[in-house]
Amino acid sequence: MAVNPYVKFLPPEHRAAAATNPETTWWGWRGHDVHVARARRPEAAARVLLLHGAGGHSEAVWPLAALLAERGLDVAAVDLPLYGLTRSPAPRSVTYDDWVALVLDLVAVEDDGRPLVLFGTSMGGMLAYEVAARSGSVAAVAATCLLDPNGLRARRSLTRFGVMSTLGGLLAPLVRGRVATAMVPMRRVADVSRLSRDPELAALCGSDPRGGGASVPLGFLATYMRYRHVEPGSMTTPVALVHPAMDTWTPPSLSLAVARRTAAPVKIVMLRECGHFPVEQPGLGDLLATVCLLADEAGRAGA
């Protein structure tokens, strides 16, 4: 199997473990052939499911998954439609609502009685939050970002051009029919240069044809921009916000605003020295320790 190009950006002491290849599996969902990368640990008391964001995919986040698996966790990472190896019958029709529905169904179909921790990176953080709020099968959420796209400041951070992001939100309801199926490169929507503190890693993310180098339909972006996530006051699943402290793309203040309004127990961990893609020490160690602690607590509670 080809070497994962994202591994080399981790600290040297973690690269050998992060380079462990996943098991490749497939799941059929509403005509989509969904790719799920796995490190099975049947003896583990809890499971972890990784959710990437826009511009990510399972291979990009797999180094993090492999490091969690090294610590004894049962880990899976799904390629959401439009990204990674997942094959969709009609890519131009994919919406953010599809992402929510797919993860809800995946959580349900894979429930084996063990507690599940949803670990969302970037945009996947709010997706994990949403699924946990709507599912009765999630024990806890870890999120590197909790970004509500309906906020003006959030839109400005999400996109390359601040004014255009505002207009995009206001005009989102008008994106329908043939307009919704028009494909747009992610690098024209998001400022991929801010995906990492390492310019080489940011360039890889932005050019990866399975991730940030892919194109997405305007309908996907519009449905995401106008999606009404579960109100924080209604959230009952414990949340750990593990936000990169030096994230210049989605500033911590945006995620903290959501976390502090959440009714459920919230743990806030700022990942020291980390940019949006958290690979730097000591924050990487803080991230792994926090997810492991969540899984350990969920496993003991479910015993």
SS3 of the chain: helix, strand, coil, percent, to 5 = 45, 15, 40
pLDDT band, residue 167 (cuts 50/70/90): very low
Q: What is the pLDDT of residues 187-204, one digit of tens each?
A: 887 778 889 999 999 999
Residue 293, CB-side half-sphere exposure with 13 Å CA sphere = 13
Residue positions counted in the chain:
303
For residues 108-113, average pLDDT: 97
* Calpha distance 300→303 (Å, rounded): 5
Name, in order, each residue with C-beta under 8 angstroms of 119's C-beta and a sequence gap of 6 or more.
Answer: 48, 49, 50, 51, 68, 128, 141, 142, 143, 291
pLDDT at res. 164: 45
Owner of token pair 């049962």: 74
Q: What is the pLDDT of residues 117-127, one digit of tens each?
A: 999 999 999 99
Domain boundaries, the chain: 17-302
Architecture of domain 17-302: 3-Layer(aba) Sandwich (3.40)
- Among 64-73, 136-145, 170-179, 287-296, the minimum mean pLDDT is found in 170-179
pLDDT at res. 166: 47
* Calpha distance 191→161 (Å, rounded): 8
pTM: 0.94
What is the DSSP track for 186-227?
A: GGGTS-GGGS-SSHHHHHHHHH-TTTTTSEEEHHHHHHHHT-
pLDDT at 33 over 90: yes
Residue that wins the pLDDT comparison between 94 and 167 = 94
